[in-house]
Each structure stands twice: as C-alpha cells, then as structure tokens.
C-alpha cells in the first residue's frame, strides 16, 4: 500500500498556482504542500502577495510569492526565470487566476469583454507557454486549468466568462495534443458552486428566515443538495498533479455535486429547515 500511495506524493515538486493568495488557488496550494510540494504563487498586487504569504505562514507552509500579471508575457517569463533560479524548475502549473464580470451581453463594453478574456484565457496560454520548454526538456510536467461549469453551459450575464472558460477547455485539450508526447499532462478542474466568503451573501438567510432565492435554486439543481467546499476540490487537484494521473490527459473533471448530470427539481420542494446547520457552518 505504501508504494501505491507514493504515486500521489509530490515530494520536492515545484508547484506554481497563479492568483493563489486566497480562495480556491490557496486551497490547491495548501493541498500540494500537504503532500510535499514546494509552493510558488503570484498575484496582481503586492498587498495580495503579502496577504498570501501571511496566510501560508499561518498554515506552516513555506511559500514563495511575487507580483506578476498573468496577462503580461514579459512579467510571466521573468517570474518563471526567477523561480527556476531560486526554487527550481516548475513541475506543476495551476492556471487558477481569473475574474468574472456579470453584465448582460448587450450592455457589456469591449474593455470588460477583453479584461475577462485576457485574464481567464490568454493568461493560461501565456503561463503555460512559459513553463512548457522546461517541462519538455525534463520529460515531464503537469498543467491544471481552472475551468468552470461555464465551460459547458451558458448562463445570463456571463458571456465573456463562458466564452473564456469554453476556450480554456479547448486549450486544455490542445496542450494535451501537442505535448503529451513529452510526458506532459494537461487537464482541468471544473468547480461547481463553492461555499466561500465571496458567496456567503448568496447563502445567507433572508430577513424573514427564508432561503436566499439563489441558494434555493442551486440546491434544487444539485443532487447533493449542498454547495461545494474548498476541500472538495483538493483531492482531484493532488491527483492531477501527481504520478497517479500520468495516463490521464486532456480531460475536464467537474466537481459539482452532480449538477451537470441532473435536470433539477422544483425549488419549492426543498425543505429549508434541514439546511440551517450547514448554512451556519459554511458561513
């Protein structure tokens, strides 16, 4: 059993998670560190990098962080060179950095469209391009893209985000197609709706004690009848970063509690009282 479990170990591997000062990126990095990886991360502002460094320190994780804009190719190349000199060759890249702008398509300005596409799609292209030469030379590497349920589905007000995440799904497959011959695997994680501080207002009870309409909607569409937790994503992230997934390539795995396989139920059928304890726990 010990030899088998070693396939999931990341001892000594250098893992770069973009935008990992907090949130899902931090959760991925924390999971990698727990199985032996060396963590490096970037963010767009120094205050965010400092916030991340402090958070990793509190968890007992030694991490290297620096300011780097994933949409700026010169900055990305310089960041990768710096990491290679100070920490080592990057073995694992998680293209986590991303934004969303919830604007009806006919009201969205081109600058807003471009901002989402640049960060959510062009950024992963630039970062992957920067690490691939060393991975090719080394004969191994793992790239994990942060896709979304919007890689498969449309939804009102998220045209740019859905377009970017759909494009990221195909970039995942194309990296697999071009570089699988070098023992490089590129896969993606597609999170469903995750309970984080950012989504807490959507899960909070209303003044009259009723469920938030969006909370009721999500639970009615999810067989698990709950929101995901950050720890629900960590096992897959470690698996896709490890030797255990060496023959899995070009795949998008959705962690959504079954929402993408389910037509849903009438939201009015949900018993709000049974979700009270979980709601309080997650907020």
**Chain segment 211-252, per-residue pLDDT in tens:** 999 999 999 999 999 999 999 999 999 999 999 999 999 999
Share of the chain above pLDDT 70, in %: 97
Give the residue-averaged pLDDT of 119-145: 98
Read off the pTM. 0.94
Q: Tokens for 197?
A: 């501080």
> For this structure, is 182 an active site residue?
no
- Residue 276: which pLDDT band, with cuts at 50, 70 and 90? low
Cβ–Cβ < 8 Å for 120, 132: no
Compute the distance between CA of residue 223 and CA of residue 232 in angstroms, rounded to an integer.
15
Q: Which residue has the tokens 């990886």?
A: 37
Compute the distance between CA of residue 79 and CA of residue 135 in angstroms, rounded to an integer.
16
Please give the pLDDT value at position 257. 96
Which string of DSSP letters, residue by residue, matches 226-244? Answer: S-B-THHHHHHHHHHHSGG
Please give the pLDDT value at position 12. 96
Compute the distance between CA of residue 189 and CA of residue 259 in angstroms, rounded to an integer.
15
Chain mean pLDDT for the chain: 94
Q: What is the rounded end-to-end Cα distance, in angstroms, of the chain?
A: 38
Compute the distance between CA of residue 80 and CA of residue 64 in angstroms, rounded to an integer.
12
Orientation angle between helical segments 46-58 and 23-34, nearest 10 degrees: 40
Q: Tokens for 206?
A: 């209303």
Catalytic option among 161, 179, 193, 254? 161
Share of the chain above pLDDT 90, in %: 86
Q: Give the residue with greater pLDDT, 208 vs 238.
A: 238
Q: Give the residue with greater pLDDT, 196 vs 37.
A: 37
- Residue 198: which pLDDT band, with cuts at 50, 70 and 90? confident
Give the residue-averaged pLDDT of 127-154: 97
């Amino acid at each position: 059993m010990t030899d088998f479990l070693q396939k999931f170990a990341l001892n000594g591997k250098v893992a770069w998670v973009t935008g990992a000062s907090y949130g899902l990126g931090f959760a991925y990095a924390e999971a990698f560190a727990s199985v032996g990886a060396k963590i490096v991360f970037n963010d767009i502002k120094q205050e965010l990098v400092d916030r991340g460094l402090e958070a990793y320190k509190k968890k007992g994780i030694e991490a290297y962080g620096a300011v780097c804009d994933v949409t700026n190719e010169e900055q990305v190349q310089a960041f990768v060179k710096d990491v290679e000199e100070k920490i080592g060759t990057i073995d694992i890249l998680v293209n986590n950095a991303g934004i969303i702008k919830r604007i009806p398509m006919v009201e969205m300005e081109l600058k807003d469209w471009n901002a989402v596409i640049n960060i959510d799609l062009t950024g992963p292209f630039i970062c992957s391009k920067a690490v691939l030469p060393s991975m090719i030379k080394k004969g191994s590497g793992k790239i994990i893209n942060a896709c979304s349920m919007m890689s498969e589905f449309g939804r009102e007000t998220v045209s740019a985000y859905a377009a970017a995440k759909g494009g990221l799904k195909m970039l995942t497959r194309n990296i697999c197609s071009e570089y699988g011959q070098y023992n490089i695997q590129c896969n993606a994680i597609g999170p469903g709706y995750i309970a984080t501080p950012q989504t807490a207002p959507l899960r909070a009870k209303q003044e009259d004690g009723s469920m938030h309409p969006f909370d009721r909607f999500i639970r009615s569409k999810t067989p698990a009848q709950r929101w995901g937790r950050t720890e629900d994503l960590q096992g897959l992230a470690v698996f896709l970063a490890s030797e255990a997934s060496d023959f899995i390539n070009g795949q998008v795995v959705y962690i959504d509690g079954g929402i993408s396989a389910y037509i849903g139920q009438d939201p009015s059928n949900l018993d709000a009282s049974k979700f009270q304890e979980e709601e309080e726990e997650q907020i």
